Amino acid sequence: MTALTLVAAVLAVATLGAALMALTTRSTAIAVLSAGLVSLFASVLFLLLAAPDVAMTEAAIGSGLTTFLFFFVLGRIRREGSK
């Protein structure tokens, strides 16, 4: 097994672990962070698979923007609920 295959396997297992955490946790903030982590791990996997354009798009949109939007909306919902 080459080093690249080993790193890809570790990232795949970490991705599955983060996805399971996102599905099973009761905390919304932890679920959002776990989903962002899944996306970040996927972008690193895309980079290892020699797809840098897909990796950059996944990191920027999937991990960065989506996680930010989830937290923004959660903040807005909590503020609206406290009025």
pLDDT digits (tens, 9 = 90+) for 6-29: 999 999 999 999 999 999 999 999
Q: What does the domain layout of the chain look like in residue ranges?
A: 3-81
Q: Using CA atoms, how far apart are residues 27 and 8, in angstroms rounded to an integer?
A: 29
What pTM does this model have? Answer: 0.85
Q: Using CA atoms, how far apart are residues 3 and 35, in angstroms rounded to an integer?
A: 27
Residue 80: pLDDT band with limits 50, 70, 90 = confident
Residue 78: pLDDT band with limits 50, 70, 90 = confident
Closest CA to 41 of 69, 22, 68: 22
Q: What is the mean pLDDT of the chain?
A: 92
Which residues, 6 or more positions from 74, have their beta carbon under 8 angstroms from its beta carbon?
28, 29, 32
